[in-house]
Amino acid sequence: MFQQLFKPTAIHYTEVKSPLHIHAEGEATGEVVGGNLSLLVNSIGTPFEIDTKGKLLLVEDVGEEPYRIDSFFNQLKMAGKFDEAIGIIIGDFSQTTPVKTKETLSLSQVFDHYFTSMNKPVLSGFKIGHCLPHYAVPLGTMATLSSTKKSLVVDAGVN
């Protein structure tokens, strides 16, 4: 993965790297945008608000309980960010065990609530984010997300 910083190297992410879960079927090719979920939500309404129109949206986070992730997803949904995206890449969500309340949805229930009815590819389980091993995905590059192949193929981030 380190070599992709210095020479053109495409990333071929399949279940060989980690188990992937399909939330919605499809295949889409577009620019990868996104990153840390809580920061993306905080950008809404600012000049730095994320543009997801016709793009693959990557989300990941660390240390957020399922009820907070639910709230963040709801904000993105209400802002139209999920509708505008052509696919959703769900990276690593670590340290999400509920602490404040025991009566909560699980993280997988939150994912299913927002994504199973979408008519675009949505896959989770990618080791992208605050995790080990960690796969760096260069934002702004073109990629193809496929539920049929259970894969994410990201073009080289450098020329």
Give pLDDT tens digits for 28-47.
Answer: 999 999 999 999 999 999 99
The tally of CA atoms less than 13 A away on the side-chain side of residue 69 is 29
Q: CA 129 to CA 35: how far, in whole Å?
A: 8
Q: Which residues of 57-77 are buried (b: 16+ CB within 10 A; e: fewer)?
A: bbbbbeebbbebbbebbeebe
pLDDT band at 111 (very low <50, low <70, confident <90, very high): very high
Tens digit of each residue's pLDDT (9 = 90 or more) over 133-147: 677 788 899 999 999
pLDDT, position 144: 97
Residues 6+ apart with CB under 8 A from 89: 32, 34, 56, 57, 58, 59, 123, 126, 128, 137, 143, 145, 152
Tell whether the model's pLDDT for residue 117 goes beyond 80: yes
pLDDT, position 118: 95
pLDDT band at 65 (very low <50, low <70, confident <90, very high): confident
